[in-house]
Amino acid sequence: MTMLGLREFHPFEAAGERFLYMVPSAGVFHIDEASYDVLRVLEEGAKSPEELTAELAEVYGAEDIAHALTELHDIRAIGDVRMPPERPLPVLPPEDFPLTTMVLNVTNKCNLACTYCYEYGEDKIIDTENGKQPKFMSDQTAEESIEFLLAESRGQEVAHVTFFGGETLLNFPVLQKTVAYARRRAAEEGKRIEFSLTTNATLLRPEIIEWLADNQIGVTISIDGPKEVQDGLRVFHNGKGSYDVVQPKIKELLKRHRTRPIGARVTLTQKNMDVLKIFKHLTEEMGFWEVGLAPVTTQDHRDYAITAEGKDDMLRQFEVLAEEWLEAALKDEHHGFSNVKDTLEEIHKGVSKAYGCGAGLGLMGVATDGDVSLCHRFAGSPEHTIGSVTEGVDREKQGKFLTDHHIATKTDCHTCWARPICSGGCYHEAHVNYGDSSLANLHYCTWVRSWTHTCLEIYGALAEKNPKFLERFDA
């Protein structure tokens, strides 16, 4: 006799309806009352189809139960209890997996001295002051990097370059030359390269703003909020706050540059946890189109590290903004909280990750000397270097990284329902906290599950009340 039991999924409700988020497939399914009651009964233990039919006979006919069992079996919400649970298989991507995004660290110098900075602060993993890398990337290395991207992007028609630092605009001449060179070479190869950069905005000048707008460069501004917040940790080397310097420059950028959306990237610390005030200031008072917020990457003993209580408070405020985002989406209106948008896009596309991100695979970082690393946060770190723009990718090193960092090796994640979205999280975060980039970020597990649940509820509500809105995630 076949005995049926529950497989792996996460149930949630939205807009008065019931849904299942399937693991590991990452599919989202609406379920009816009969299916819900089947699952409820199976929570008590395994039962045969006949036992289920008998137990629910007072509410549903045999045909309704049979239909529910078929649907639940098809989506793998239930199955024969003798079947082992589905565990991630260590299947590696093909060796010719295309590079889609290259982050060019055009300088490792910065004119700010932000206390929490992962590159220059207390948790830095590379000696940018006395290390062997040059302070600025040369024109030649930048051009070699473009050739590397064109080759490694393989059959992709579009590739992406993000300029990074240090403070990116300290090496503005190389940006100008590289964009012109890349566009010419991409056209010769029948491709297109899109560009973006991250900056602290201190060096924005009218001619730079004009160039950014004319060349359709996407811009992300690193800014932490209103004056009292920004000046607390984002300071110049003499200790002076940066808000009064960047505020008018950002206003001018937002006024002139309309060819691409301008976003703000906020680092949250225990010292600046008023998420709602920060978001309101950056969107309503400063005028940013989108704002993304991320907790600081640091060790727990730092005085700016977010405490457990702080994480709960951060989640509560994220949920308030998420509800605002949903209200806007139901009316087909824009809301600038990009954290929701990014997670919903992954849910909609059924993303089930084998890796925490695309680092070392579809995304790579290039140090000022042309060494290729897993991502920009590891640029210049010998331990995390997997090649160079002149010699190409060391496939043996890349293969070892992909093997060691695969979700199949992260046994702590194997029973977590949120693993399709998370897959253990950021490698740099793990390196800073545990000294090993291959480990799962267990200190954020509860937070990630709670946030993913919130985003699933929003997705379900949109699917029921304004499904057309979700079509914008199809691209």
The 3-state secondary structure of the chain reads: CCCEEECCEEEEEECCEEEEEECCCCCEEEECHHHHHHHHHHCCCCECHHHHHHHCCCCCCHHHHHHHHHHHHHCCCEEECCCCCCCCCCCCCCCCCCCCEEEEECECCCCECCCCCCCCCCCCCCCCCCCCCCCECCHHHHHHHHHHHHHHCCCCCEEEEEEECCCHHHHHHHHHHHHHHHHHHHHHCCCEEEEEEEECCCCCCHHHHHHHHHCCCEEEEECCCCHHHHHHHCEECCCCECHHHHHHHHHHHHHHCCCCCEEEEEEEECCECCHHHHHHHHHHHCCCCEEEEEECCCCCCCCCCCCHHHHHHHHHHHHHHHHHHHHHHHCCCCCCEHHHHHHHHHHHCCCCCCCCCCECCCEEEECCCCEEECCHHHCCCHHHEEEECCCEECHHHHHHHHHHCCHHHCHHHCCCCCHHHHCCCCHHHHHHHHCCCCCCCHHHHHHHHHHHHHHHHHHHHHHHHCHHHHHHHCC
For residues 450 and 441, give the distance between their C-alpha atoms in angstroms, rounded to a whole number: 15
d(CA 230, CA 16): 42
Instruction: Kindly give the pairing relationship between strand 385-388 and strand 392-393.
Output: antiparallel
Encode the chain (475 residues) as per-residue pLDDT tens digits.
799 999 999 999 999 999 999 999 999 999 999 999 999 999 999 999 999 999 999 999 999 999 999 999 999 999 999 998 888 888 889 989 999 999 999 999 999 999 888 766 666 767 666 667 899 999 999 999 999 999 999 999 999 999 999 999 999 999 999 999 999 999 999 999 999 999 999 999 999 999 999 999 999 999 999 999 999 999 999 999 999 999 999 999 999 999 998 999 999 999 999 999 999 999 999 999 999 999 999 988 898 899 999 999 999 999 999 999 999 999 999 999 999 999 999 999 999 999 999 999 999 999 999 999 999 999 989 999 999 999 999 999 999 999 999 999 999 999 999 999 999 999 999 999 999 999 999 999 999 999 999 999 999 999 999 999 999 999 7
Q: What is the pLDDT of residue 354?
A: 94
Structural Rg of the chain based on CA atoms:
24
Give the C-alpha separation, 376 to 364, whole Å. Answer: 7
**Which pTM was predicted?**
0.94
Q: What is the pLDDT of residue 133?
A: 83
134-158: b (≥16 Cβ within 10 Å) or e: eebbeeebbbbbbebbbebbeebee
Q: What are the backbone angles phi and psi of residue 293, rounded to the nearest 5°?
A: -120, 140
Question: Rounded to a whole number, what is the distance in angstroms from the first to the last CA of the chain?
Answer: 46
What per-residue confidence (pLDDT) applies to 91?
86
Cα–Cα distance measured from residue 280 to residue 17, given in angstroms and rounded to the nearest whole number? 32
